[in-house]
Structure 1
Amino acid sequence: MSLCVCVQFPDRMIIGSDTAVTFNLLTGEKLRGSLPMQKTYLIGEWAVFLAGDGVSCVSIAREFELEKNKSISTFKRILKKYFRQMSSAQSNADPSKLNAVMFKVDGNGRTISHTFMPTNQFNPVTRRGTSEGIHIITGGYRGDEVLKYAQQNWNDEVDVGTYIRTIFEHFSGGEIGGEIDLFEVSYRGNEYLGRQPLRETVRLPIITPDEKSRMSVGLTGGTVTGALIRTGSSGRRIEVDAQGLRTYDGNGQNRIRINTGSDSGVAAIVFNGSSGSYAGEINSYQNGGLTIFSDDITIGSNNTANPIRIQGAATFAGPVRFNSTVSGISINVSDVYGLSATLSSLQSQIDSLRSSYNSHTHSVTLPTHNHGNSANQNWGGTFTSGGPR
């Protein structure tokens, strides 16, 4: 479970979040992980706290970081998508625990926070810094209970970091605890202040990564159901969960995703470049069509004896350029768009000229004469030339 406590002043905010990781077994038993996990992320101009399923929270933060438009509406859309996926895919999970808080300083230098909860369809509850006092904001596990305690124990004479740590130590020992990460958000920018240990008595059994791995080995058949299956926790690895399959390179960049679905009913294979930026995709829409999208697509063949073949009718929706010779093309003039009408008009003009030529005649009239020799036959008259041939 995760907890966040923030003290919001007009011009700055101090944020604390714990690092405890809790595993809920099918038997109902709860275990505390031995390794810490960060719950608050610095993304662009935002500090973002996420509470809920650990894998989903990391995926939400990663997806929001990749967005060009890091707005409230974009973050809300991502939250709602993962909430629906958790609700439909994890029957033993409690998706109502998925919630978040975003913090930043606006263009006027005033602090602003937005709380997102599934109980109101993730419509943000916004608080702006005010000179009339402070806001104490909580998010995550037992948030309402923690807020009431924090308000009752506020002391403006105590260092804010110490005040927040005292609140965490009061509630630590079970699902909350481990260490505390502190952040400051102000007009100077967002800053990670460091990690401090919490004084607590852990009341849950501790499980190490090796023990967790041993719980997963030795499976020879049957069905394995879980939130995340992966070949490693960092570096080159493959991860599989309800959202699909992902591959990562040695730098931890997601290079290939096979999505199980999306809001548009699309199952897709998505490719990213070495920087993690979108490179293209192969997807299938509900109508059964298969599409390939990218800003730059190259289809090549290393075997020149067996070149690339396109079988079936093909439609080119844009200009086509051939950089080398072309052979084996057989085209009916009537199938060439635009040229057919031009040739038809030309043929009509030729036919008209031929008709005019065939029907054109000339006449010549000569007088009667015998060339001065009376023995010759007199001749003359009108003679016609030309006409049909």
Structure 2
Amino acid sequence: MSLCICLQNSDGLMIAADTAATITHGGKQYRLREPLQKLVQFGNFLIFMSGSAGAAVMVFEKFKQAATHSAETFQAALIEGCAEFAELYPERYASLEPETRDAGALVAEWTPRGVLVHTFQPADGFQPHTCKASPTETIPHAGGYHADEALDRICKWLKSGGRSPSMSVAIRETFEILAGDRIGGIMTLATINNHGISFGPHQPIKEQIRLPFYDDFVQQQILKKHMTLYGSYIATKEDAFPRCEMSSNGNIFAAYTNAGNKIAIDPNYAGVPSLDFYMNGTVKGKLDTISSIMELVGNGGLLLYANGGDLELNPSTGFVTVPTWYKFLNGNTDRTLGEELSEIYDRLEALEEGGA
């Protein structure tokens, strides 16, 4: 459900709406964490819709596709969109509360005559009610959930002189008083005047949320039940990098920097799983148990580096083995341990021969 508050005079209009979205499941109301933008601009129109989000989407699409755009063509789109939603989703339509099955709307537009506000409600068959303010009046409007309470508060603010607090603060405070269940999230604020339509910065609505979140409910249900997926592809981004993915194609789990650089789990490398490191599309390293022991392989080189500490080779039993001492190279002298030992051996042998 939604709430819209609007203040209209002859040469301008300020309008605000919240972004809270709710869903009914098993007869219980839940809030959604994802905000829903309910106040949208189309040409010289600002459109707010409340009630069924599914119906509202269909209405907006039909209005965008209309050959011309006016209050009359919006009314036609509203009637057709709500009827189509009920026809396509009869069970969903019947499960909704009566006040949320269809979409109600408040549409504001700038015309040569000034600002016009059109309201449409399912209760009277979406008949248009158009309002134009005189140069000496400010007309308040409210639509959606708690509209009567919101209108009452704004009218009291107008009767008090409408100076303190400011108009935008008075509107925000009204949202905050009524928020917590089907109203809340972020307040979207916009204005219309002879310079066009402009949106102000989004303002969080202070609220104590009294409804459980549907996202949390779904997560709990997944944890409670056994769920099996086959042949799936799950990725953190679509056709973009960096991303992580799980794919039935190749049975892989992978983390990509780009198309050629990734870390992937190969489930069957010669009968064992392996962790593969790719660079430019080529496997540069592997971690596996193909030899019945843990094996770390670097193709083209392997660097073991300890930053700020010791690098220890400490077999609890057995030995640290190398094919030959000539495989140990001193980077400072560019000599191998085999060469050093051979030179020591030659010197000792020369000493023995000299002593003889």
Q: TM-score range by the shorter chain?
A: 0.5 to 0.7
Alignment-derived partner of residue 30 in structure 1: 29
- Please list, as runs of the form range in 1=range in 2, the aligned pairs for 1:89-100 lying within 5 A after superposition: 89=90, 90-94=93-97, 96-97=99-100, 98-100=103-105
Give 1:111 deviation, angstroms.
Answer: 1.1
Check if 1:80 corresponds to 2:79: yes
2: CA distance, partners of 1:52 / 1:205: 20
Query: Per-residue displacement from partner, 1:68-94 (whole Å, max 9, x unpaired)?
Result: 311112111111123223445121123
Contact 1:83 1:95 in 2 (8 A): no
2: CA distance, partners of 1:183 / 1:145: 21
Give 1:210 deviation, angstroms.
Answer: 9.4
Counterpart of 1:20 in structure 2: which amino acid? A
- Please list, as runs of the form range in 1=range in 2, the aligned pairs for 1:234-245 lying within 5 A after superposition: none
- Please list, as runs of the form range in 1=range in 2, the aligned pairs for 1:1-389 lying within 5 A after superposition: 1-26=1-26, 28-88=27-87, 89=90, 90-94=93-97, 96-97=99-100, 98-108=103-113, 110-154=114-158, 155-157=161-163, 158-208=165-215, 211=218
Task: Pick closer, same or farther for the CA change 1:62–1:84 going to 2, 3 Å.
Answer: closer
Give 1:186 deviation, angstroms.
Answer: 1.0
Contact 1:52 1:95 in 2 (8 A): no
Give 1:160 deviation, angstroms.
Answer: 1.5
Query: Per-residue displacement from partner, 1:200-241 (whole Å, max 9, x unpaired)?
Result: 111111233894796699789xxxxxxxxxx99x989xxxxx
Counterpart of 1:200 in structure 2: which amino acid? E
Task: Pick closer, same or farther for the CA change 1:167–1:84 going to 2, 3 Å.
Answer: same
Contact 1:44 1:65 in 2 (8 A): no
Counterpart of 1:142 in structure 2: which amino acid? H
Query: Per-residue displacement from partner, 1:164-193 (whole Å, max 9, x unpaired)?
Result: 101101100111111100011111111111
2: CA distance, partners of 1:56 / 1:218: 34
Give TM-score, length-normalised by structure 2: 0.57
Task: Pick closer, same or farther for the CA change 1:74–1:215 going to 2, 3 Å.
Answer: farther
Instruction: For structure 1, list consecutive stretches of 5 or more residues without a partner in the other structure.
Output: 221-230, 237-389
Give 1:143 deviation, angstroms.
Answer: 1.6
Task: Pick closer, same or farther for the CA change 1:107–1:60 going to 2, 3 Å.
Answer: same
2: CA distance, partners of 1:213 / 1:78: 39
Give 1:129 deviation, angstroms.
Answer: 2.0
Contact 2:108 2:116 in 1 (8 A): yes
Alignment-derived partner of residue 278 in structure 1: none
Contact 1:102 1:113 in 2 (8 A): yes
Instruction: For structure 2, list consecutive stretches of 5 or more residues without a partner in the other structure.
Output: 229-233, 240-356
Counterpart of 2:123 in structure 1: which amino acid? T
Give 1:66 deviation, angstroms.
Answer: 2.8
Q: Secondary structure at the match of 1:202?
A: coil
1: CA distance, partners of 2:29 / 2:86: 21
Count of equivalent residues: 223
Contact 1:41 1:61 in 2 (8 A): no
Give TM-score, length-normalised by structure 1: 0.53
Q: Secondary structure at the match of 2:136?
A: coil
2: CA distance, partners of 1:235 / 1:130: 52
Counterpart of 1:47 in structure 2: which amino acid? L
1: CA distance, partners of 2:172 / 2:206: 9
1: CA distance, partners of 2:127 / 2:214: 37
Give 1:128 deviation, angstroms.
Answer: 0.3
Q: Secondary structure at the match of 1:7?
A: strand
Q: What root-mean-square deviation, in Å, do the aligned CA atoms of Structure 1 and Structure 2 show?
A: 2.8
